[in-house]
Chains A and B, each alone.
Chain A
Amino acid sequence: MSVDKDTVRRIAKLARIALDESRVEPMERELNGILAWVEQLQEVNVEGIEPMTSVVAQKLKMRDDVVTDGGIAEAITANAPQSEDHFFVVPKVVE
């Protein structure tokens, strides 16, 4: 399988990464190089094999559904590029 320029533009959009039109063709080439190389996985017989979900066999730990942390709005917003009264500030989203 390989990607074309439209697919490159579409996945860049899905990934929310602006891709300059001049970068579409080189990216197409780079991605196709990698996809051609991983193509060899198609030769492996995976009939009846379960996909791995955890490398170490263990039951997912459960904990009580209680609040263990909180009241740290100041710390949480401290790294925000823009914040106000413990809110993250973004450009207008709803007209």
Chain B
Amino acid sequence: MSLPSNLADFTLAEARDAVSGKKVSSTELTKAFSKAVADAKPLNVFVTETPEKALEMATASDARIAKGEAGPLEGLPLAIKDLFCTKDVRTTAGSNILSNFIPPYESTVTQNLWDAGAVMLGKTNMDEFAMGSSNETSFYKPVLSPWRAKNSNSALVPGGSSGGSASSVAANLCLGATGTDTGGSIRQPAAVTGTVGLKPTYGRCSRWGTVAFASSLDQAGPMTRTVRDAAILLRHMASVDPKDSTSVDVPVPDYEATLENGVKGLRVGIPKEYRIDGAPPEIDALWQKGAGWLKLQGAEIVEVSLPHTKYALPAYYIVAPAEASSNLARYDGVRYGHRTKEAIRDITDLYEKSRAEGFGAEVRRRILIGTYVLSAGYYDAYYSRAQKIRTLILRDFERAWEKCDVLLTPATPGPAFAIGEKSNDPISMYLNDVFTVTVNLAGLPGLAVPAGLTADGLPLGLQIIGKAFDEATVLRAGRSIETAANFTAKPQHWWAA
């Protein structure tokens, strides 16, 4: 295998093998990525860069390697979404209300990564409290995608909410990144930036120490340049955790070991309800191409029906805001976070002003929707009904599993759009998650894999959906798509000085 000449162009697997084979030190690798990060300021990817901490961690990694005590991710520089609490490193969740919050503890997912030897480059920008599909709701200004359409200099969104993580992976600013996915926040940005994003089964990764948005839907996962890298990273993010009672005690397999097993005999379902009116013909064409690729490699393609698909997004916009309104009640301007400097009449006034100043428009809107649907007299009509529809959506998947092992769908209804294009119309923004949100409601694993380019040269992805805790098969099918698609396009380096 020939290695890239620029260290920042390594995949995570290549870097791992080079570091453990002592061909390159963690310090060299970390310096190369820290420089790439520093040069990429125009992308606004990081809320907080931690180059000193990265170098410290890399030095410690090199010492462990010298002593023969290397961990499985030893010395590998990663970017961390700013939703994961990192001890003594500011964690903002993309919000003004947490602009001065320094966690005195480490999230379980990031602790697992550091225990495996990984190095932190910094905290990536994101939609405020992970509420958004474009990164435009961040208090720290939008992230830009490294991608631009052919013959255009217009700024495009990187998707969201894990847009900083997606851009950092697409622009080779890290070997891999963590993301979180409540309605599509890993898979949608991965798809529109030509990267790989995996939302694991609910309960696969601990939610402890990850700033909560909608607790029954939130799940952490890896964002990487290759399916193999996602397989490696997930293994070391996942764990059962006594601090999260919803983390599930099932063994975490070696996903990498079964990655190349192919799809011969695998039954791949094509859910007919994912053909939506008004989607660009390129989306449907790519989907058919994907099915063709898997068939050619020996998979059996079967048509399936998920009849409640169209209700997933509206049900999500009841369940997620309801849970958010409850979770975000903790920001009171008293125990941590922003407190108003205005004159106040009483404690209620302190809460109301601190929260109005601390939360952005989209977060305020969702808290109010959530408060309304949970309020006396409306609970049954909205929340309880949405949770019943969630049961129906899960049943749809369970029926599909009688006929197939995984599902193949488009990842997004279109490519990346321009900054500002959808920000005045909440519902058109919400529709970005139409293909991803069903998976969160049913708790299943979903993987976005880059599969092609639009006529304008922008990335599009396909999604593999699997059975609960069957990430191994999802990754294996994703690897087959990756092999057939042979997606090698990279954005031009327009941002570097």
Residues of A bordering B, CB below 8 Å: 1, 3, 7-8, 11-19, 27, 30-31, 33-35, 37-38, 40-42, 44, 46, 49-56, 58, 60-61, 63, 72, 75-76, 78-82, 88, 90-91, 93
CB distance from B471 to the nearest CB of A (A): 13
Q: How many residues of B contact A (CB 8 A)?
A: 69
| Closest residue on chain B to residue A72 by CB atoms | B104
> A44 and B371: CB pair below 8 A?
no
Residue of B202, B332, B427 ringed by the most chain A CB atoms within 10 A: B427
Residues of B bordering A, CB below 8 Å: 100-102, 104-105, 201-203, 216, 242, 245-246, 248, 308, 310-311, 314-315, 317-318, 325, 329, 332-339, 344, 346-353, 355-356, 359, 364-365, 367-369, 371-372, 375, 378, 381-382, 384-392, 394, 426-427, 441-443, 468
> B387 and A33: CB pair below 8 A?
no
Listed from nearest, the 10 A-B pairs whose CB atoms lie closest are: A55-B443, A51-B387, A79-B336, A81-B339, A75-B104, A18-B356, A18-B352, A46-B388, A52-B390, A38-B314
* A34-B317, A81-B339 known; A11 vs B372 contact (CB < 8 Å): yes
> A15 and B102: CB pair below 8 A?
no
Cβ-defined partner of A56 (8 Å) among B311, B387, B468: B468
CB distance from A20 to the nearest CB of B (A): 8
A-B interface contact total, Cβ < 8 Å: 156
| Closest residue on chain B to residue A77 by CB atoms | B335
Residue of B105, B334, B359, B426 ringed by the most chain A CB atoms within 10 A: B334
Ordered by A's residue number, 5 sampled pairs between the chains whose C-beta atoms are within 8 Å are A40-B314, A41-B311, A41-B389, A54-B246, A90-B347
> B102 and A79: CB pair below 8 A?
yes
Instruction: With A11-B371, A12-B368, A15-B367 given, name 17 new contacts (CB 8 A).
Output: A13-B352, A14-B371, A14-B375, A15-B325, A15-B355, A16-B355, A19-B356, A34-B426, A37-B317, A40-B310, A46-B389, A51-B387, A52-B387, A56-B443, A80-B336, A88-B334, A91-B347
What is the bound-complex CA distance between A80 and B353, given in angstroms?
Answer: 17
CB distance from B316 to the nearest CB of A (A): 9
Q: Residues of A contacting B311 with CB < 8 Å?
A: 40-41, 44
| Closest residue on chain A to residue B363 by CB atoms | A17
* A15-B367, A17-B364, A61-B245 known; A52 vs B388 contact (CB < 8 Å): yes
> B102 and A78: CB pair below 8 A?
yes
What is the bound-complex CA distance between A76 and B390, given in angstroms?
Answer: 37
